[in-house]
Amino acid sequence: PFWLKEQQQLFQVKAVWMKRVTVIAKQMGAAKESLTRLELGSDGIAKLVLTRPMKLNSLSLSMISGLKQQYTDVVRSGARCILLSGEGRGFCAGGDVAEVREGVLAGNTNPADFFFEEYQLVHEIATLRQSRGVLQIAVWDGIVMGGGVGLSIHSPIRIATENTLFAMPETAIGFFPDVGVTQALPNISAGPHIGTFLGLTGQRLRAADCLYAGIATHFCPTAKLAEAEQRLRALGDGIADLDRVSAAICAAAGSDSPDTSKAVLATNAQAIEQCFSGATSAEDIVSRLEAQGSEWATGVLATLRSMSPTSVKV
């Protein structure tokens, strides 16, 4: 009968459709699982890699949940050192703002869950050495911003390369420097005024500036990172010794130093101190910049005025 033939065709179409859905679901599951990669070695070193290069390794909620479990796995494995890095052009460009926005528009709990989980993860990383005896080494071979700073700024060792681009640009999006950065920036070796300047303006820094500020602890060219890792793995039981780890990285880097042609902090150090040191309010900083009157000060004023006023005040 005609109706039976038509029904069989519908069943065939449905079978093909279900097969395609299954394939897509498997692909999505595989993609979800590959957002990070943990390698546990027998030499006391765990290698943790962010593997979302198409989005500059920006952090999604599922990625953060996965990282929390992987840090737990590292501690349980007995590893004493974590090498944290990212695939592609970005170490980690921050949180996945698009995902958070979608959650807000949909009215679900994903945005709140995201920040709750992220801040828990950052606290775990920040206290990793003190509470777990595990030394984290962050390899900033690319863009490191926002949430990526949170994953790494609290590491005792932070390696910059010629590809490093560091910033905390939260005031540009109506937010504030979170993930423990309001604790970290005031305590950098260049002084709290540099930290205030970076937090308010979102100034982008290359390797030379990161070293000057004390945000990065070491410089190592990308081409020598593999050698640095080999030297670290050769330390054996000394892999948790900060001095020996530092010496191994310096030995790999040799006499190489970062390009200073685009550096901004050392060149403007006196002006930054005059305008940001001991300032009691955003208005105080603006007044100082206006009085300073240099080309640099005019540029910083324009930047501050383009930011969220509420964020700058906070």
Q: Where in the sequence numbering do the catalytic residues fall?
A: 95, 147, 170, 178
Integer Cα distance of 150 and 178 in angstroms:
8
Nearest partner of 88 among 64, 113, 54, 43, judged by Cα: 54
Q: What angle do CA 67, 87, 72 make, to 5 degrees?
A: 15
Q: Which residue's entry shows tokens 């932070």?
A: 158
Q: Which residue's entry shows tokens 């592609």?
A: 88
Torsion angle of the four alpha carbons 102, 33, 70, 179, in this order, in degrees rounded to the nearest 10: -20
143: which 2 tokens?
Answer: 């863009």
Q: Give bridge partners of residue 145 from the DSSP assignment.
A: 167
Chain-centre distance for alpha carbon 3: 61
Integer Cα distance of 244 and 250 in angstroms:
10
Q: Which helix (H) or strand (E) holds 310?
A: helix 309-313
80: which 2 tokens?
Answer: 């004493």
Task: Please report, for residues 38, 227, 235, the alpha-carbon distance to residue 79 in angstroms, rounded to integers and kept in the order given.
Answer: 12, 20, 13
3-class DSSP state of 157: strand
Q: What does DSSP assign to residue 195? A: H
